[in-house]
Structure 1
Amino acid sequence: MTAPEPDLRRLRHFIAVAESGGFTRAAAALHLSQQALSSSIRQLEKDLNADLFTRVGRQVTLTRAGQTLLSEGRVLLAAARTVAEHVEKIGASTAETFVVGHTPALSGIEAYTILEPAIDAFPDSSFTLRQLYPADLTSAVLDGSVQLGLRRGVVPPDDLAAAVVGYHRVRLAVPSSHRLAHRRRVDIDELADEQIVLWAPPGASYYSDLLVGACRRAGFEPNYVISRIQGAATVAAPLTTNAIAFVTSAAGPAMDERVQVIDVHPTIQVPVQALWQRHTVSAVREMILTS
């Protein structure tokens, strides 16, 4: 038996009721009568052969089927909007702009390097890079304003597709006046008595958890401080904290030689995870993911 396909208009009605918590507010927001909205939801339930709401008086709560449809339906509507916008641009012969968001943990240079194969392969496409904080990044990918998100981490997102697209080597950035600044390589256990700068507390960031985990495997609990400068190049952190920062910059002098970047042993590799809308296709994205 062929599985039923939800009507997108009715799906939009269902999501409005689920998010507003009732038919009255949803009907007003949709500029529909409550009777028309109720009829639309009943037809959707009939189409899907599932009860979506438990109704007690004027109160409605989602059934398990309704909870599933709310999660999957949001993704489906977002994908439908993206497809419509893409087709409209192609129909109008509008040049495609591929928007890539990246978190502050990745530099613009690192993001560009990941995109470079697609930039070379699609000379008629324009590319825009936007720096976004992690929560804003996932929201922008889900609503279609960003076609591809790049972040540090391998946490499976609930509503998005994801894949690891590369790894970057982690090094140490220290103030040029620091006792370790003259070294070419530092063993990580030598940081046991040093203060380390992070950009988010452990437990709130995959990247922080990875770095703290590397310290713990070396046999010490890191003494860390959270950077008060967010969104700037990570290699600049030693200048405002006088602490040691884990960075993915090349070894050598940085920040007008006020900072030195040093190799750390054992080698630490941090992944780059790409995020994109499920139920969509993109030749540009496929080039990035497979290069």
Structure 2
Amino acid sequence: MLNPAVSPDEEPLDSRRLQQFLCVAEHSSFSRAADQLHLSQQALSSSVAKLEAQLGVPLFDRTGRQVRLTAAGQALFDGASVLLAAGQVLARQVRDAAATERRPFVVAHTPAVTAEEVHGLLGPVRSQMPEVSVTAVQMFPGDLESGVLDGTVDLALRRGTTAPATLAAAVIAYHPLRIAVARGHHLAAHHTIAIRDLRDERIVVWAPPGASFYTDFILSNCRRAGFEPSLVVPRIQGTTPTSAVLDHPDAVAFVTAPSGAALGGAVHVIDITDPPLAPVQAIWLPHTRSAVRDLLITGDSHARSHRRVPE
């Protein structure tokens, strides 16, 4: 029996129908989706038709050989995976609430955000929620969003400012950039350096321009200093950023590591005059709640005092 306080167009969307809709959209075919779901094509078509009737709009254009999403179908496709993921997270939180041993809160970070920086950002949780277990894992940027969507990651940290289309995001910290050089590099004796002094240097980046916010951020700062940089992408990925110059001892790398000797003296990190501030962006699944995540995003007064905001 329908709730009389809820009109038909406000009825909750059925999660199973949404999953079936997503499968059809991903395969661009009712027959292939039916095989994948182990349903008859008639049953799957009926399920999607009921979803279309509930929403009052067609979700697929069925005029060609392949079914294609309509504008309304695309809107549902963009939001359905997030909605279903939020439901799975809620179910897990309910089970966790009854469990004697709580699941760790998982924070993923890209190699551009070092493990030491993650530890610093966890300061509010360490001090205000000492009973919470947190696991930090390093992931490549392309894997962060899928990790958040499938629930294996509770909060992801990366260098960036543009929010993903289907996820929530906020910049929670800024770290000053410095320059890393190999011990034998001609700049290694410097204590400070200006970005404009790097015009004749090769600069290590971890992805080509256009493929990484961090690369584009470095590129824009070089251009602001009046030169077009010569870029090199290292063969070894995923290690600490300061290690990049070990395989390219004639090059320099922008890092956020503390100034001074690094990696046992093999690398020297140099302060930049008026350094650019590299953002740390947190991304998470919308439509979900988490006290740990809220504390990590907002921090406390001490944590915020160390998060410089550019003027």
The equivalent residue for 1:11 is: 18
Deviation >6 Å, runs of 4+: none
Partner of residue 190 from structure 1, selected from 184, 187, 197: 197
The equivalent residue for 1:81 is: 88
Q: Name stretches of at least 5 consecutive residues in structure 1 with no aligned partner.
A: none
State whether structure 2 residue 260 is matched by structure 1 residue 252.
yes
Partner of residue 208 from structure 1, selected from 211, 215, 224: 215
The equivalent residue for 2:4 is: none
Partner of residue 57 from structure 2, selected from 50, 53, 77: 50
State whether structure 2 residue 45 is matched by structure 1 residue 41.
no
Range 165-174 or range 53-62, more displaced: 53-62
The equivalent residue for 2:130 is: 123
Partner of residue 28 from structure 1, selected from 23, 35, 58: 35
Aligned alpha-carbon RMSD (Å) = 1.5
Residue identity matched to 1:17: V
State whether structure 2 residue 99 is matched by structure 1 residue 92.
yes
Provide, for residues 114-138 of structure 1, a one-character-per-residue CA deviation record: whole Å limited to 9, x for no partner.
Answer: 1221133223321111111001111
The equivalent residue for 1:240 is: 247
State whether structure 2 residue 278 is matched by structure 1 residue 270.
yes
| CA displacement at 1:171 relative to structure 2 | 0.4
Give % identity.
49
| CA displacement at 1:4 relative to structure 2 | 4.1
Q: 1:61 and 1:279 mapped to 2: Cα distance?
A: 28
Q: 1:68 and 1:57 mapped to 2: Cα distance?
A: 21
Q: Equivalent residue of 2:276, what SS? A: strand
Residue identity matched to 2:153: V
The equivalent residue for 1:286 is: 294
CA contact (8 A) 2:203 2:252 kept: yes
TM-score of the superposition, structure 1-length normalised? 0.95
| CA displacement at 1:58 relative to structure 2 | 6.3
Q: Equivalent residue of 1:256, what SS? A: helix
| CA displacement at 1:245 relative to structure 2 | 0.9
Provide, for residues 173-207 of structure 1, a one-character-per-residue CA deviation record: whole Å limited to 9, x for no partner.
Answer: 11222222122111111111111111111111111
| CA displacement at 1:147 relative to structure 2 | 0.5
Q: Equivalent residue of 1:47, what SS? A: helix
CA contact (8 A) 2:108 2:138 kept: yes
Q: 1:55 and 1:225 mapped to 2: Cα distance?
A: 48
CA contact (8 A) 1:173 1:245 kept: yes
| CA displacement at 1:75 relative to structure 2 | 0.8
